[in-house]
Structure 1
Amino acid sequence: MGNDAVEERLEDQPINQGRRRFLTATTAVVGAVGVGFVAVPFIKSWNPSAKAKLAGAPVKQDISALQDGMRIVLEWRGQPIWIVKRTKQMLDILPTLDSRLRDPKSTNADQQPAYVLKGDYHYRSIKPEISVLVGICTHLGCSPEMVAEIKPEPFDPDWKGGYFCPCHKSRYDMAGRVYDGVPAPFNLAVPPHNYESDTMIVIGLDPGSSTSTGAA
């Protein structure tokens, strides 16, 4: 992933009196992690029919090309869904952040399915390395930016990587857990999802389910 890699930007869409979300069903925005943080090539996502999306049908996504530190952005039920392959460094940092977070153990059951907490609660995921989040800030519905590099930032001199909402400066770690002392009241939501295979993820279905379920 060199400096000559291609970056695909999502278009801003104003909604709800100035709130902004980045919604896409055909592109992926990805970020490299660690030293030499750069943009990397986008990944095309599976694109369901407009009728299926309107009905809230499950969305399948092939993650076989997802590399460490990369993010795929797709759309399900009108919401941006982020699929991130976290690096070992990202996973190692998550357990060190509890004291800085509002709800480190994700006790609000409305923000994620129970099965994503059955392993290590720090990860909020079925597979530790694969994070699946609804990319909407829980404050006023803006879409946070992925700022994965671990380095001092203007909004946090001790930044350990995560998501930053430019609208009102809310911050989340790489598991979508909200920092204490920011406007956002809750962790980012984790949508229902499962794995059809090692490389195919299904958004909108709980493990073992055959029908579409509700979103967080």
Structure 2
Amino acid sequence: MSTPEPIIPAPPGEPELARRKLLLASTVGLGTAGLVLTAVPFVASLEPSERALAEAAPVAVDLAGIAPGALRTVAWRGMPVWVLHRTPAMLASLGRHDALLLDPQSAADQQPVYARNRDRSIVPAWFVAVAICTHLGCSPVFRPDAAPADLGPDWPGGFYCPCHGSRYDLAGRVFQNVPAPLNLLVPPYAFHGPGRLVIGEDGPGKLA
């Protein structure tokens, strides 16, 4: 009885080679597509969100509704910002207590150049400041009344931080012997006519 001859596979022909090339191309293509699909969300995540863009945008404030002596709080870049309409009496009080202040001339860089003055403002009647204590980030309260019983006879009116007792006058200048080391921060702002203020736009703008 004869031994059967071993079966030797035939070399791959052109149809087989073509099939393998097609499979390889498909695998590479799918891998590349997967990388692209993975990269798209990653790249998108690097772009600022609509909320972030909105928070960074300038904020317009209509001044017509803020009566003399009144304070309005608006949000800008996720921070509370005060817009105070100071009365003539409030402005007159600013020159009477410089000896009690830590930085009465605003030497520290806590305001734009155009607000580095006694009033810390472009237009004296309007004071704009970030409503965050420069000590540990609490929000001070508006205390415009002079010499109240709880703040003492030297209190000229201003902003008091209930967290640790820091005090600021009506121009946001910090008093001596309190925890806060700096005056309140004045953000960039500009006027667009006498009745419209824009927070986040740098420069005095047009006042009339």
TM-score (norm 1): 0.69
1:141 alignment partner, one of 123, 137, 151:
137
What letter matches 2:133 in structure 1? C
Alignment correspondent of 2:111? 112
Check if 1:207 corresponds to 2:207.
Answer: no
Check if 1:165 corresponds to 2:164.
Answer: no
- The structure with the largest alpha-carbon Rg is 2
Aligned length: 156
What letter matches 1:64 in structure 2? A
Alignment correspondent of 1:34? none
Q: Distance in 2 between matches of 1:116 and 1:203?
A: 13
Q: Distance in 2 between matches of 1:127 and 1:185?
A: 26
Alignment correspondent of 2:187? 191
Q: Distance in 2 between matches of 1:90 and 1:183?
A: 25
Q: Distance in 2 between matches of 1:145 and 1:154?
A: 14
Q: Which runs of 5+ in 2 are unaligned?
A: 1-49
Q: Which runs of 5+ in 1 are unaligned?
A: 1-48, 210-216
Q: Distance in 2 between matches of 1:202 and 1:153?
A: 37
Determine if contact 2:122/2:204 at 8 Å carries over to the other structure.
Answer: no
Q: Distance in 2 between matches of 1:98 and 1:73?
A: 27
Q: Distance in 2 between matches of 1:75 and 1:123?
A: 22
Alignment correspondent of 1:82? 82
Which segments of structure 1 move beyond 6 Å, counting only runs of 4 or more?
Answer: none
1:181 alignment partner, one of 160, 177, 182:
177
Alignment correspondent of 2:122? 126
Q: Which structure has greater helix proportion?
A: 2
Please give the residue correspondences for 1:39-50 in structure 2 after superposition, counting only pairs within 5 Å.
50=51
Alignment correspondent of 2:99? 99
Secondary structure in 2 aligned to 1:61?
Answer: strand
